Amino acid sequence: MTQLVVFDPVTALIPLAHLVPVVIVAWARRACSGRVTTS
């Protein structure tokens, strides 16, 4: 929120740009992760 209000709002998109692929990979690997944690 500080990044949006105080600093350049465009730079706030950089963490979002990194978060999107991480979420996609985590969602795609959720079945594998479930097997690891239940063993």
Q: Where are the domains of the chain?
A: 1-33
pLDDT of residue 24: 94
pLDDT of residue 20: 93
The answer to whether the beta carbons of residues 29 and 21 sit under 8 Å apart is no
Phi, psi of 30 (to 5 degrees): -60, -35
Question: How many whole angstroms separate alpha carbon 17 and alpha carbon 33?
Answer: 23
Question: How many whole angstroms separate alpha carbon 2 and alpha carbon 18?
Answer: 18
pLDDT of residue 19: 92
pLDDT of residue 36: 59
pLDDT of residue 12: 76
How confident is the model over 1-39, as pLDDT tens digits? 776 677 777 777 888 889 999 999 999 988 776 665 555
